[in-house]
Structure 1
Amino acid sequence: MNDWKLPWEGGCRCGRVRLKISAPPLLTMACHCTGCQRMSASAFSLSAAIPTQGFEVTQGEPVIGGLHGEHRHYFCPYCMSWMFTRPHGVDTFVNMRATMLDDPSWFSPFMETWTSEKLPWATTPAVHSFAKLPEFHEYKGLTDAYAAQAKRPGSSHRK
């Protein structure tokens, strides 16, 4: 785990909500769904799936935003930065917006999802693509491959 240079810190645009990450990501991804396009005002959202025990809000009180539906999207109550998502029915990880990290320069999406909704010109360096989401049985192989191949902070290429 030392090659991940943990812990990491991050926060919203105004700095009123701060995060601490003490476990390496399970996966990194770009989501092309129209919901993420609209919430991020971009072609896709970028996130890192962080094990729940390695994710902590250290300052401030994020509020639920977005659709207020099954998935809980958390925002800074002041600057309204979309910071992380807790997927419905999943308590093993938190999808943190990678750009909330103080240093996201190492980040690269390992997989991309919802390519069926992606804008025609949008491209990423992801090595795995899915029209929607991977099948449940595919995640073990994806997380194992990510752990072996992922770019680490401070490295210039994948391991």
Structure 2
Amino acid sequence: MAEKLTGGCQCGDIRYEVSGEAQQVVACHCTDCQTQSGSAFGMTLVVKEENFKLTKGEVKGFTSKSAADRDKLGAFCPACGTRIYHKVEARPGKLAVKPGTLDDTSILKPSVHLWTSSKQSWVTIPDDAEAYEKQPF
């Protein structure tokens, strides 16, 4: 992936950049991610928290429980509601950036699929991807 990625929310009030290498692109099929994304699955770009920088605006957050019953902070634009990232307490030092907010999404290909036990029946997991019925980490 690129050395520096940029992105932002739908209305433009939030902008960010990510430096360094992304650690994973994950597709999550849990029902929380389906609800949050309004789609069959949610995607996250796992990065080191120290490599993420807001360059415009301030996010608002709320805490909820993940499908694995872990505390999760969701950060979003207070103006348009676009989810920018989430942070799970069980994974310190890492952020899960919502990759649909990147300026260039052409680089995205999930290498890991989580919560396949609740995936939609019409979704096909590629043969070369890791797949887990629940949350392995």
Consecutive aligned runs of 4 or more in structure 1 exceeding 6 Å deviation: none
- Indicate the residue corresponding to 2:39 in structure 1: 42
Residue 20 in structure 1 maps to residue 17 in structure 2: yes
RMSD over aligned Cα, in angstroms?
A: 1.5
- Indicate the residue corresponding to 1:62 in structure 2: 59
How far off its partner does 1:48 sit? 0.7
Output the amino acid matched with 2:108: F
1:109-146 CA deviation, whole Å, 9 max, x = no partner? 00000001111112344610000022x4xxxxxxxxxx
- Indicate the residue corresponding to 2:2 in structure 1: 5
Q: TM-score of the superposition, structure 2-length normalised?
A: 0.89
Counterpart among 119, 122, 128 of residue 130 in structure 2: 128
- Indicate the residue corresponding to 1:117 in structure 2: 118
How far off its partner does 1:64 sit? 1.3
1:36 is paired with a residue whose SS is helix
More helix per residue: 1
2:96 is paired with a residue whose SS is strand
- Indicate the residue corresponding to 2:95 in structure 1: 94
Output the amino acid matched with 2:135: L
Given that residues 109 and 124 in structure 1 are in contact (C-alpha distance below 8 angstroms), is that contact kept between their aligned partners in structure 2? no
More strand per residue: 2
Structure 1: distance between partners of 2:122 and 2:9: 28
How far off its partner does 1:88 sit? 1.7
Output the amino acid matched with 1:48: L
Given that residues 33 and 117 in structure 1 are in contact (C-alpha distance below 8 angstroms), is that contact kept between their aligned partners in structure 2? yes
Structure 2: distance between partners of 1:94 and 1:76: 16
Structure 2: distance between partners of 1:14 and 1:109: 26
Residue 81 in structure 1 maps to residue 82 in structure 2: yes
Given that residues 71 and 88 in structure 1 are in contact (C-alpha distance below 8 angstroms), is that contact kept between their aligned partners in structure 2? yes
Compare CA radii of gyration and give the structure with the larger one: 1
- Indicate the residue corresponding to 2:104 in structure 1: 103
Structure 1: distance between partners of 2:134 and 2:89: 17
The runs of 5 or more residues in structure 2 that have no matched partner are 66-70
Tell me the number of residue pairs that the alignment of Structure 1 and Structure 2 aligns: 131
Given that residues 117 and 133 in structure 2 are in contact (C-alpha distance below 8 angstroms), is that contact kept between their aligned partners in structure 1? yes
Q: TM-score of the superposition, structure 1-length normalised?
A: 0.77
